[in-house]
């Protein structure tokens, strides 16, 4: 039993670190779980350290991704035992990143006093790899645990979500170091005071930024009045052909009931679950509604195209800006697709009978990348569904000069715990780039968030409602937007310093 104890504690630590993520208590629970992990890794061999960190990640991700069971069982038609096995398999794959952390930490920080220098930087580097490798899956990076700490969140305009993750690891590394070293009480007090001073300074920076925000928002010249329509169409009915007209009527009716004037109306991802080219009468209805409310309608819908008569048709998950002309020219195609949800990786190697979990037999094609959607009042930064969880891609989009980020999504596929997690990630993109975020979700949570991360309005989950908010334009001139790519060099430099210091001792 004693031999199993470290493994059981590693599993426990992973669960504690993701408990009710993200909430006001997350910085404390995450610190507790991470401190326990770092203590367990101390003095372990490379292999044992990697194994314990893998178990931590397995528990952490299985609980954090548990909302996927709803997708797999209710909408994928997969039996509960197999769905659970698939969830654990995905979690095991993601746990390879903590395992990498565990494998490298003994080399970079073989002695406890090096933990505060090496552990936070190494964890952030592993998170960066998780965001980029094999299409990436950056759900629930640890920095999102600061979601309820508004002042601390403001440092995201300096270093993005990765700086917040570093700050989440730093207290754990310090406490683990103190536990392992058992220094004199005076030393414990001085190092703890230094940590509290750093947190106080960062909180002070956030307070200063928030205090400055009122002046900047009041002086905004390019504010627009935006309406969000949350149709709340049940996922079981959303793609039914018999439901298409009723869905259209609901969105048209709710849009016509919006208090006017408005500059833009936003509908969720695939709010229209049909091809407009195949339904010209439906497109004309939307154009007439746009004329009546005197505002364009930004909506999600599938699109179909081909480059020539002999070429195969290609399918896209699109965002279209529709006005009274009924033109389909103003269109953005999602470029970062969900593996197995929107396309099958290595399709040419997979049997044709193996289909994606979402509706339709055909795979979606990728759009051209993070590109702006032109609009005469200011360019829009389009983000469809989970594209908003990739910080570097959104930073690239923000750098094109867009005035607003717009995230349309359909979180009706997932369990309820996914909705606040997804919203927390979307909120960080607004703060990182100092751009307002307009978010329309089929079943919620829809919200408008200003460039300081504050909600200007919200429609709760599973509600059929609309929302009208005045949204100032952003400038996308944050330090992170301009220089965010250089932070990776800083994390690598900290790891190099830890390695050099180890060798010098």
Q: Which residues are catalytic?
A: 269, 334, 385
3-state secondary structure 87-130: HHHHHHHHCHHHHHHHHHHHHHCCCHHHHHHHHHHHHHHHHHHH
Task: Note if the bond before 114 is cis, omega within 30 degrees.
Answer: no
Q: Torsion over CA of 27, 38, 392 and 473, rounded to 10 degrees?
A: 10
Closest CA to 120 of 109, 129, 130: 109
With b for 16 or more beta-carbon neighbours within 10 A and e for fewer, the 354-379 pattern comes to eebbbeeeebbbbbeebbbbebeeeb
> What span, in angstroms and rounded, lies between the C-alpha atoms of 23 and 33?
15
Residue whose structure tokens are 């869905």 = 247
> What span, in angstroms and rounded, lies between the C-alpha atoms of 374 and 393?
18
Handedness of CA 378, 384, 387, 388 (dihedral sign): positive
Strand duo 224-230 + 331-333: pairing: unpaired
Phi, psi of 27 (to 5 degrees): -55, -30
3-state secondary structure 440-460: EECCCCEEEECCCCCEEEEEC
Strand-pairing partners, residue 364, are 315
Strand-pairing partners, residue 449, are 437, 455
Q: Are 447 and 465 in contact (CB under 8 A)?
A: no
Give, in order, the Cα–Cα distances in Å from 370 to each of 91, 322, 387, 456, 487. Answer: 28, 20, 9, 26, 21
Q: Is 137 helix (H, G, I), strand (E, B) or coil?
A: coil
Helices 418-433 and 391-398: crossing angle, nearest 10°?
Answer: 40
């Amino acid at each position: 039993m004693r031999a199993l104890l470290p493994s059981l504690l590693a599993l426990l630590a992973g669960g504690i670190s993701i408990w009710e993520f993200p909430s006001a208590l997350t910085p404390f629970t995450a610190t507790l779980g991470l401190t326990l992990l770092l203590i367990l890794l101390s003095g372990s061999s490379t292999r044992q350290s990697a194994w314990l960190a893998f178990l931590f990640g397995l528990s952490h991700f299985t609980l954090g991704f548990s909302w996927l069971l709803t997708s797999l069982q209710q909408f994928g038609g997969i039996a509960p035992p197999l769905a659970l096995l698939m969830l654990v398999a995905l979690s095991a794959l993601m746990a390879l990143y903590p395992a990498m952390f565990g494998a490298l930490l003994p080399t970079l920080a073989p002695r406890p006093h090096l933990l505060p220098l090496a552990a936070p930087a190494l964890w952030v580097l592993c998170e960066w790899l998780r965001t980029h490798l094999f299409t990436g899956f950056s759900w629930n990076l640890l920095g999102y645990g600061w979601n309820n700490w508004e002042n601390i969140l403001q440092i995201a305009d300096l270093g993005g979500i990765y700086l917040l993750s570093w700050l989440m690891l730093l207290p754990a590394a310090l406490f683990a170091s103190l536990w392992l070293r058992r220094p004199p009480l005076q030393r414990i007090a001085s190092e703890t005071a230094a940590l509290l001073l750093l947190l106080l300074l960062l909180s002070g920076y956030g307070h200063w930024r928030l205090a400055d925000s009122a002046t900047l928002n009041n002086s905004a010249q390019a504010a627009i009045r935006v309406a969000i329509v949350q149709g709340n169409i049940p996922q079981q009915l959303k793609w039914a052909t018999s439901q298409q007209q009723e869905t259209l009527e609901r969105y048209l009716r709710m849009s016509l009931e919006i208090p006017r004037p408005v500059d833009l109306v936003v509908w969720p991802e695939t709010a229209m679950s049909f091809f407009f080219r195949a339904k010209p009468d439906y497109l004309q209805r939307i154009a007439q509604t746009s004329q009546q409310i005197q505002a364009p309608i930004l909506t999600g819908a599938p699109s179909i195209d081909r480059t020539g008569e002999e070429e195969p048709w290609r399918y896209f998950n699109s965002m279209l800006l529709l006005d009274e002309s009924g033109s389909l020219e103003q269109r953005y195609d999602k470029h970062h697709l969900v593996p197995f949800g929107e396309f099958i990786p290595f399709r040419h190697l997979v049997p044709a009978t193996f289909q994606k979990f979402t509706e339709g037999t055909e795979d979606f094609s990728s759009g051209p990348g993070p590109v702006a959607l032109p609009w005469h009042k200011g360019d829009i930064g389009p983000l469809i569904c989970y594209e908003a969880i990739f910080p570097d891609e959104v930073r690239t989009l923000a750098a094109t000069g867009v005035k607003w980020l717009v995230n349309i999504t359909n979180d009706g596929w997932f369990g309820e715990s996914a909705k606040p997690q997804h919203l927390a990630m979307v909120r960080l993109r607004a703060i990182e780039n100092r751009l307002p975020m307009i978010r329309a979700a089929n079943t919620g949570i829809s919200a408008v968030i200003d460039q300081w991360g504050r909600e200007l309005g919200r429609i709760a989950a599973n509600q059929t409602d609309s929302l009208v908010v005045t949204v100032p334009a952003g400038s996308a001139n944050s330090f992170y937007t301009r220089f965010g790519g250089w932070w990776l060099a800083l994390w690598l430099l900290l790891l190099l310093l830890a390695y050099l210091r180890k060798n010098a001792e």
